[in-house]
């Protein structure tokens, strides 16, 4: 697997991220579930949702999607499940995915440095002191935004993902998967 052109053709990211093949993150999709299940599907978003794990390459194509987890499920549990499935997230030897700071570093997953400023563009230039960790986090963040753009494009194209569904939950999960894999094709 070669270095993605977005990284290879940029002095900003190459050679530091030459073995990075994409970004993973979770997003919440509005869900309708039976009242008896609503507590577990109500996460930090205060509405019932399914937590969907996705991997995206630097062409904003979704390469792996795991849908159907309850909205209160911790992202680390969903990631562990995906990594354990034969059809889940596969990380080739020597390659890695970027991840947000809510995760610990593990084989094939690279989060930013913890307890280090992450979005330096939010700090006025005169107050910036770019040490190595802050510089790394800035570059990490500027690449990781790829998945945020992909999620925004997906939800903009498929408005049904943010509306209260009227289908049974199994069908809702299938609709989410269909929407994710329609983007980029």
- Residue 42 pLDDT > 60: yes
- Residue 119 pLDDT > 60: no
Q: Would you place residue 151 in the very low, low, confident or very high pLDDT band (cuts 50, 70, 90)?
A: very high
Token code pair at residue 24:
């993973």
Asked if the structure places residue 141 within a domain, the reply is: yes
Token code pair at residue 135:
């510089």
Asked if the structure places residue 81 within a domain, the reply is: yes
Calculate the average pLDDT of the chain. Answer: 87
Nearest-5° angle of CA 132, CA 133, CA 135? 65
Asked if the structure places residue 185 within a domain, the reply is: no
CB atoms within 10 A of CB 51: 24
Asked if the structure places residue 165 within a domain, the reply is: yes
Mean pLDDT for 45-54 is 89
Asked if the structure places residue 184 within a domain, the reply is: no
The percent of residues above 90 in pLDDT, for the chain, comes to 55
Give Cα 5 to chain centroid, integer Å: 20
State the distance between the two ends of the chain, measured CA to CA, in whole angstroms: 20
Token code pair at residue 20:
């990075």
Whether 144 contacts 110, CB under 8 Å = no
pLDDT tens-place string over residues 59-73 = 999 999 999 999 999
Write the burial class of residue 10 (CB in 10 Å: 0-12 exposed, 13-18 middle, 19+ buried): middle
Asked if the structure places residue 137 within a domain, the reply is: yes
Please tell me the least confidently modeled range out of 35-39, 124-128, 163-167: 124-128
CB atoms within 10 A of CB 152: 12
Q: Residue 183's pLDDT is what?
A: 67
Q: Would you place residue 50 in the very low, low, confident or very high pLDDT band (cuts 50, 70, 90)?
A: very high
The C-alpha atoms of residue 63 and residue 131 are separated, in whole angstroms, by 34
- Domains of the chain: total: 1
Token code pair at residue 71:
């909205």
Number of alpha carbons in the 13 Å side-chain half-sphere of residue 46: 0
- Residue 165 pLDDT > 70: yes
Asked if the structure places residue 133 within a domain, the reply is: yes
The C-alpha atoms of residue 35 and residue 89 are separated, in whole angstroms, by 32
Q: Would you place residue 105 in the very low, low, confident or very high pLDDT band (cuts 50, 70, 90)?
A: confident
Residue numbers of the domain that contains 69: 5-179
pLDDT tens-place string over residues 22-41 = 999 999 999 999 889 888 99
């Amino acid at each position: 697997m070669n270095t993605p052109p977005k990284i290879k053709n940029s002095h900003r990211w190459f050679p530091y991220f030459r073995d990075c093949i994409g970004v993973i993150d979770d997003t919440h999709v509005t869900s309708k579930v039976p009242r008896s299940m609503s507590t577990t599907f109500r996460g930090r978003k205060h509405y019932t949702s399914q937590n969907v794990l996705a991997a995206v390459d630097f062409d904003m194509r979704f390469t792996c999607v795991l849908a159907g987890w309850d909205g209160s499920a911790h992202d680390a549990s969903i990631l562990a499940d995906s990594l354990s499935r034969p059809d889940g997230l596969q990380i080739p030897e020597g390659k890695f995915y970027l991840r947000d700071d809510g995760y610990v570093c593990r084989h094939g997953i690279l989060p930013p440095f913890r307890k280090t400023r992450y979005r330096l563009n939010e700090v006025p230039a005169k107050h910036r002191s770019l040490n190595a960790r802050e510089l790394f986090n800035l570059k990490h963040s500027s690449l990781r935004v790829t998945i945020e753009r992909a999620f925004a494009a997906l939800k903009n194209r498929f408005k049904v993902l943010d509306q209260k569904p009227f289908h049974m939950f199994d069908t809702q999960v299938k609709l989410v998967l269909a929407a994710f894999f329609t983007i980029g094709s």
